[in-house]
Amino acid sequence: MAEKFDVIVVGAGMAGNAAAYTLAQAGLNVLQIERGETPGSKNVQGAILYADALEKIIPDFRDDAPLERHLIEQRVWILDDESYVGSNYRSEEFNREPYNRYTIIRAHFDQWFNKKARDAGALVLCETTVTNLLLDGKRVIGVATDRKGGEIYADCVILADGVNSLLAKKAGFHDEIKPRDVALAVKEIHFLPQETIESRFNIGEEEGVVIEMAGKITAGMMGTAFLYTNKESITLGIGCMLSDFKEQQVTPYQLLEKMKDHPAIRPLLAGSEMKEYAAHLIPEGGYHAMPQVYGDGWMIAGDAGMFVNGLHREGSNLAMTTGKLAAETLIELKEQGKAWNARSLARYQAKLDDSFVMKDLRKYRQAPAIFEKNPHFFTTYPELLNRAAHTLVKVDGVDKKSKERSIKSAFVEARSRLGLLGDAFKMWRAFQSR
Amino acid sequence: MHSVVCIKQVPDSAQIRVHPVTNTIMRQGVPAIINPYDLFALEEALRLKDRFGGTVTVITMGPPQAEVALRKCLSFGADHAILVSDRAFAGADTLATSFALSAAIGKVREDQPVDLIFTGKQTIDGDTAQVGPGIAKRLDYQLLTYVSKIVDIDFGKKEITVERRAEGGVQLLKTAVPCLITMLEGTNEMRFGDMADMFRAARYPLKVWDRVAAGIEDVAKIGLKGSPTVVGKVFAPKPRSQRAEMIEVHDNDPQDLVVTLLAKVFTRHPKIEAEIIKCAS
Ligand SMILES: Cc1cc2nc3c(=O)[nH]c(=O)nc-3n(C[C@H](O)[C@H](O)[C@H](O)COP(=O)(O)OP(=O)(O)OC[C@H]3O[C@@H](n4cnc5c(N)ncnc54)[C@H](O)[C@@H]3O)c2cc1C
């Protein structure tokens, strides 16, 4: 006899776990299927956890979630080949509970989150890949898997299978993801003793630092890099648009190697031992690249639906929130005795529109295109900034007025007056557009 | 036929590191896996079940988290799983572990006779290879170690024939059933269970036995108390200062290789070169 559930959730990442947990809590009969050996084993993230999104799902998550450090300091670096101009923001306010942002290691965190879903009553199968959606006309009625006898039925399938959702594509719900809509990121975890990390980054036990980086390290491509402190390790990574990698014939790995060799980064990693290397896609196409996210008996949550705010490096919180909203839509409709079809599930879209998820994605809808068409934001400006800083800081007998003049002319020479104005406007539009 | 497979959940040794200051193993954050050698034991038991019918029971002594390992064994096709878990078992060495496991298997036998007991060759975290033989001795089972193949079982005569890898060759051994087999690695490949097994594993009401349920009265024989092993000192071997050098071979030319090799040896050890020249002249 074929198994039948209320809901099948595909994937045990942030979105899938949020959905499965919420559904199971409400007493629905949930099956969650994950292809990885354990939840989290396939998941790659920087990884910063934004407490707010999780708090709304599991209010007391701080009691037992595997959290590495809470962040008390944010550094932003604009890098040239041998230098950086940076800003730091550090505040004791971030040191007061409840903390707002944490570093996590996804492999551990996802297992914890998934255990919550299981404890709430979700049935979880790992090491099982969903190969196809079962359709009855246009209606999704279940899934097929790579295991013998692996067809399972459900009234609704939530696709939380991450970026480049093959299932949605196979079922014809959306087109192949375009290289200019995804970033390819590589990251490494480097082991360092806890004491070393704390002295190197000027932080106490459980306190953490993030460094966000942009500039020459991405070799002119649209992208950013990051470095976070975990309890006994450092995560660092770099990502650029897939289309740029293709065009420039550079591998992400080369970029990461160069990054680790930057004179400002090398000392932070000195003596460390590489623990883990991973590459992963991040859907950064933004608002204009978003697919349809619901239909007859199906919904999409998380990366699979392009729910990522690339500009602010937010993904996991959108994934959790969309997973939760998808689940709540189903729960509400069930309580009202309504069927789960394309018409009723439109409520999911309404919930999304009403949340920070779509509000933010709409706000930054121009950003991807603006940055894509203006690569000088990633090359010329970092260089100019760094040279300006160098000129100002160096004491060499040149009077300050002349220094300022030379900085100004360097900018004008590189971008022209109109160009500078235009760039300022574009930058403003990327962040402010509504 | 009833087989009992003993498994252990171990830290994935490929991901373990030694603390640079204290020299202790840092287990924190290291994923737990089923001892890889035990999987060969389980698969062999499952194959016997395929061939001759019967049931396979998996048993482990460990912390509550070992449940994951047992469920995984069920998803491969094992019929039953027992977790022997009690704080009193903490700190057990191989002597205390084999005592506890044999007691638990003794309890299993009260319900259903056990024809074969399987273990892996050894564990990757202890590398002692002592627990299997320890259980055989206590239960008075025949013992076959480093088995590479089960050739046949004669149910009428209650005899089993196996191949055993030994130094310089393969031994063909025959012994009486019941017996305990420690399975060599690389002898089979774990199957990919079907969907029905996945569901059964996820829903299986796991049996958890504490000390009393496992039939153990004498607490002096289990846990730290029952473990005479003393770890005198733990230290990390010094990493080699010199890295190995890769020598490229061109066109499979042995002469070229020999010349390159000798040149390398001679530059590093001029004395050897001098000696050889002296001998030759
Ligand atoms: C390098 C990097 C750094 C990042 N840093 C941050 C950060 O600091 N903060 C932040 O908020 N976000 C960050 N993100 C983004 C964040 O990781 C994602 O947005 C988030 O993980 C999305 O969650 P998800 O559940 O949608 O997808 P995932 O977490 O990718 O989970 C999808 C799951 O589905 C499973 N799956 C896929 N296909 C199938 C199938 N056919 N059958 C069964 N299972 C399947 C996968 O194995 C996986 O477990 C980062 C991403 C990367 C790559």
Tell me the pLDDT tens digit for each residue of A31-58: 999 999 888 877 666 689 999 999 999 9
A103 Cβ closer than 6 Å to some ligand 1 atom: no
Among A129-138, A178-187, A407-416, B217-226, which range has the highest average pLDDT? A129-138
DSSP-derived secondary structure letter, A150: -
Q: What does the DSSP assignment read for A256-313?
A: HHHHHTSTTTHHHHTT-EEEEEEEEEEE---GGGPPP-EETTEEE-GGGGT--BGGGT
Give the list of residues 6+ apart from residue A110 with CB closer than 8 angstroms, or none: A12, A13, A14, A17, A38, A39, A40, A43
How many C-beta atoms surround the C-beta of residue B274 within 10 A? 11
The Cα A218–Cα A225 span in angstroms is 8
A324 Cβ closer than 6 Å to some ligand 1 atom: no
Sign for the pseudo-dihedral over CA of A163, A168, A170, A173: negative
- For residue B24, list chain A residues with Cβ-Cβ distance below 8 A: none
- For residue A275, list chain B residues with Cβ-Cβ distance below 8 A: 15, 17
DSSP-derived secondary structure letter, A221: S
| Shortest alpha-carbon distance between residue B210 and chain A (Å) | 23
A331 Cβ closer than 6 Å to some ligand 1 atom: no
DSSP-derived secondary structure letter, A314: B
């990698």: which residue's tokens? A245
pLDDT of residue A261: 95
Q: What is the CATH number of domain B2-221?
A: 3.40.50.620
DSSP-derived secondary structure letter, B16: -
Sign for the pseudo-dihedral over CA of A19, A22, A27, A32: positive
Residue B29 tokens, joined? 């954050």
Q: Shortest CA distance to A7 belongs to which of A154, A160, A133?
A: A154
Does the pLDDT value for residue A434 go beyond 60? Answer: no
User: What mean pLDDT do residues B10-27 have?
Assistant: 71
* Whether B209 contacts B226, CB under 8 Å: no
CB contact under 8 A, A123 and B29: no
Q: List residues of B whose CB lies inside 8 A of any A CB.
A: 15, 17, 19-21, 26, 28-29, 31, 68, 75, 192-196, 198-199, 202-203
Average pLDDT, chain B: 90
pLDDT of residue A46: 60
**What's the start-to-end Cα distance of chain A, in Å?**
53
At A145 the three-state DSSP class reads strand
- For residue B17, list chain A residues with Cβ-Cβ distance below 8 A: 191, 273, 275
Q: How confident is the model at residue B237 (pLDDT cuts 50, 70, 90)?
A: confident
Interface contact A147, partner B, CB < 8 A: yes
Q: Chain A: residue nearest B75 by CA?
A: A125
**What's the start-to-end Cα distance of chain B, in Å?**
74
The Cα A153–Cα A150 span in angstroms is 10
**Which residue type does A136 have?**
D
User: What mean pLDDT do residues A394-419 have?
Assistant: 85
Residue A379 vs residue B38, higher pLDDT: B38
Q: Shortest CA distance to A43 belongs to which of A125, A113, A100?
A: A113
Work out the angle at residue A342's Cα, subtended by the Cα atoms of residues A340 and A345, and round it to the nearest 5 degrees. 60
Q: How confident is the model at residue B28 (pLDDT cuts 50, 70, 90)?
A: low
Query: Where does chain B show beta strands of DSSP type E?
Result: 2-6, 9-11, 17-18, 25-26, 32-34, 55-61, 80-84, 116-120, 142-154, 159-166, 169-176, 179-183, 207-209
Nearest to B194 among A38, A127, A149 (CB): A149
Q: How confident is the model at residue A411 (pLDDT cuts 50, 70, 90)?
A: confident
Rounded CA Rg of chain A: 23
The Cα B152–Cα B257 span in angstroms is 49
Q: Dump pLDDT digits (tens) for B95-120.
A: 999 999 999 999 999 999 999 999 99
**CATH fold of the domain at A180-281:** D-Amino Acid Oxidase; Chain A, domain 2 (3.30.9)
Residue A389 tokens, joined? 């800083």
Q: Do the bridges between strand B207-209 and strand B80-84 make them parallel or antiparallel, or are there none, so unpaired?
A: parallel
Residue A309 tokens, joined? 């705010």
> What are the extents of the domains in chain B?
2-221, 240-281
Rounded CA Rg of chain B: 24
The Cα B69–Cα A356 span in angstroms is 41
User: What mean pLDDT do residues A407-412 have?
Assistant: 86
Q: Chain B: residue nearest A67 by CA?
A: B29
Q: What does the DSSP assignment read for A334-395?
A: HHTT---STTTTHHHHHHHHHSHHHHHHHHTTTHHHHHHH-GGGTTHHHHHHHHHHHHHH--
Q: How far is CA B80 from its chain centroid?
A: 20
| Shortest alpha-carbon distance between residue A260 and chain B (Å) | 22
Give the residues across from A211 on adjacent strands: A75, A227
The Cα B213–Cα A143 span in angstroms is 42
Q: Dump pLDDT digits (tens) for B181-204.
A: 999 998 899 999 999 999 999 999
Q: Dump pLDDT digits (tens) for B132-166.
A: 999 999 999 999 999 999 999 998 999 999 999 98
Does the pLDDT value for residue A208 go beyond 90? Answer: yes
Q: Do the bridges between strand A101-103 and strand A69-79 make them parallel or antiparallel, or are there none, so unpaired?
A: antiparallel
Does the pLDDT value for residue B218 go beyond 70? Answer: yes
| Shortest alpha-carbon distance between residue A225 and chain B (Å) | 25
Which of B75, B198, B200 is most worth mutating to test chain A (most A CB atoms within 10 A of its CB)? B198
Give the list of residues 6+ apart from residue A27 with CB closer than 8 angstroms, or none: A121
Pick the CATH number of A4-68+104-175+291-354 from 3.40.309.10, 3.50.50.60, 3.30.530.20, 3.60.21.10: 3.50.50.60
Interface contact A328, partner B, CB < 8 A: no
Work out the angle at residue B154's Cα, subtended by the Cα atoms of residues B149 and B160, and round it to the nearest 5 degrees. 40
Please state the atom number of ligand 1 nearest to the C-alpha of residue A239.
1
